[in-house]
Amino acid sequence: MGSDSSHRRLRAIFFDAAGTLFESREAIGEVYARIARKFGLDAPVEAVEAGFRHAFGSAPPLAFGPEHAPDEIRRLEREWWRERVAESFEGLGTFDDFDAYFDALFAHFGEPANWRADPEAAPMLNRLKNSGLELGVISNFDFRVYRILDGLGLARFFDSITISSEAGYAKPHREIFAAALARHGIAAGDAIHVGDSAHLDFDAAESAGLGAVLLDPALEGATKISGRTVRISSLASMNDVAQVFRFA
């Protein structure tokens, strides 16, 4: 590995949440469309999915910051999502009661039973934790991630959970990585970040000075390492990756 890491000891590993540690049991567009039918709007799943991707991709960051009281952050999170959901259905019809629909949808995605943990997540986290590493989450999710991680049996492994709405910055901004590092009292060179997004996780972590690991199930071969960047096809490879970073 490069000279940046030659005199550093790996102390912490951070993970993205949704898409890395767990995923929705149903495709997002299917959930949106299925629940919408209960509230009087029958729209094609493909159109709803496209609307969601456009709304989510063009949205301002879900980031408010510690200057807001916790209750106010919760209100701002819900309002942010309400706007995204409304945008997802623009031009697709009218709800009998949009507010009731949004309440049902928001509750659905806050229920751990509607998410599925990666089967490799718990065994991998347990091994890393037992090896003496500190573990954290860095996520652009909202407060519901706490309950989801707990309900999936993953929260117990983490020393910190840093979410964009509370940090005031969202990935790919380096400030959210700095906030997570500060909670552990470590420098960027002492940590790596693992995620499924090339832009929000892999490139962003590398830019912030952390080692960067991209989870890519389509990757041919288990692990590809270049400097302080790693590509893996499964979370099961993280124990080997940690050893590489420990002794580089």
Give 120-141 as a DSSP string.
THHHHHHHHHHTT-EEEEEES-
How many Å apart are CA 234 and CA 86, to the nearest integer? 35
pLDDT value, residue 247? 61
Percent of the chain with pLDDT over 70: 95
List the chain domain ranges. 3-21+118-246, 24-113
* pLDDT greater than 70 at residue 8: no
* CA-based nearest residue to 16, from 196, 192, 191: 196
Exposure string of 151-176, with b = 16+ CB inside 10 Å and e = fewer, is bbebeebbebbbbbbbbbbbbbbbeb
Parallel/antiparallel/unpaired status of strands 191-195 and 211-215: parallel
pLDDT value, residue 38? 97
pLDDT value, residue 5? 40
Answer for the pair 116, 23: CB distance below 8 angstroms, yes or no. yes
pLDDT value, residue 164? 98
Beta-bridge partners for 226: 229
Among the listed ranges 1-5, 9-13, 62-66, 239-243, which one has the minimum average pLDDT value?
A: 1-5
Report pLDDT digits (tens) over 147-179: 999 999 999 999 999 999 999 999 999 999 999
Tell the CATH superfamily of the 3-21+118-246 domain.
HAD superfamily/HAD-like (3.40.50.1000)
Tell me how far apart the 2 most distant CA atoms of the chain are, in Å.
Answer: 62
How many Å apart are CA 14 and CA 18, to the nearest integer? 13
Q: Does the predicted TM-score (pTM) go above 0.85?
A: yes
* CA-based nearest residue to 46, from 31, 58, 32, 29: 29
How many Å apart are CA 247 and CA 118, to the nearest integer? 27
Report pLDDT digits (tens) over 19-62: 999 999 999 999 999 999 999 999 999 999 999 999 999 999 99
pLDDT value, residue 2? 38
Report pLDDT digits (tens) over 186-245: 999 999 999 999 999 999 999 999 999 999 998 876 677 777 899 999 999 999 899 888
Q: Which amino acid is it at 197?
A: S
CATH of region 24-113, choose from 3.40.50.300, 3.40.50.1980, 2.40.50.140, 1.10.150.720: 1.10.150.720
pLDDT value, residue 152? 98
- Structure tokens, 47: 């159109």
Q: What is the average pLDDT across 9-22?
A: 96
How many Å apart are CA 105 and CA 86, to the nearest integer? 12
The Cα-based distances of 235 to 128, 137, 174 in angstroms read: 11, 15, 24
- Structure tokens, 21: 């540690």
Answer for the pair 112, 148: CB distance below 8 angstroms, yes or no. yes
Q: What is the DSSP letter of 112?
A: G
Q: Which uninterrupted H or E stretch holds 231?
A: strand 229-232
At residue 229's C-alpha, the angle toward residues 187 and 241, to 5°, is 85
